[in-house]
Structure 1
């Protein structure tokens, strides 16, 4: 019997790097373990990959379902596009920056009426755009769909400011 009153062999003979387990007969059995540089490196890599995967998963879920936004679609000069609706201005492209994905697939907006205000066909029209918007930053992340509307629809909407 050990000094602590339990049966079995005393475990005071433990050495660094050893844990004790039990054999089938109930006696303690040394279990050797080893942690080397590669084990630590693999563990760090696994934790980094898990963190990256969770970050990516969270980032992809930021965009909510597409929101339909209708209002004045403005293109006053080259490489400048935005939509003004009842809630504010939604920037699609500004000169020197990357366009929002989907801008290049927008249909011809001049089919329902387009007011030319600048050389090269730049101006404004009325449109509805289905947009994915980051709820935290209120920035447009993607244009899902777009369709032109008659100018009279936007002119009749009192919640829209004039272009």
Structure 2
């Protein structure tokens, strides 16, 4: 009886299955991972919601992504600054939300933004008029 053991290796978000028998050589898997790491990060546009300190979510046509959780995951890089006309205050301090477009490294499986590569605030109307995210504007308890 021949047993085949699979080792799951993950590099930069790319999962590759490597068998001990060498069905997919490790060097080939590493090469694929390097190519994936070099790929241009996707451009994502949607709502950046900061309801409470340290907790930030991003909402786009694919759903909700974790950007930061108090005491847990925090994306690397800088969130864009939002002029007051592009930021909806929903409470004290920095609580609120705005419209953003960004290039970001993401973890699709865990629905996390890992790193902001480039980000810019957009007019609120850009997200409000986008049919892909219509009706997904974060809740504003101050309305």
Normalised to the residue count of structure 2, the TM-score between the two structures is 0.64
Give the conservation status (yes or no) of the 8 Å contact 1:112–1:149: no
The runs of 5 or more residues in structure 1 that have no matched partner are 1-50
Match of residue 121 from structure 1: 94
* Pairwise CA distance, 1:106: 2.5
* Pairwise CA distance, 1:66: 0.7
Q: How many residues align?
A: 110
The runs of 5 or more residues in structure 2 that have no matched partner are 1-25, 139-143
Match of residue 85 from structure 1: 60
Match of residue 9 from structure 1: none
Secondary structure, counterpart of 1:155 in structure 2 = helix
Match of residue 68 from structure 1: 43
Match of residue 14 from structure 2: none
Aligned-pair Cα RMSD in Å: 2.6
Secondary structure, counterpart of 1:119 in structure 2 = coil
Give the conservation status (yes or no) of the 8 Å contact 2:66–2:111: no
Against the structure 1 CA distance between its residues 135 and 73, is the aligned structure 2 distance closer, same or farther, given a 3 Å change threshold?
A: closer
Normalised to the residue count of structure 1, the TM-score between the two structures is 0.57
1: CA distance, partners of 2:102 / 2:31 = 26
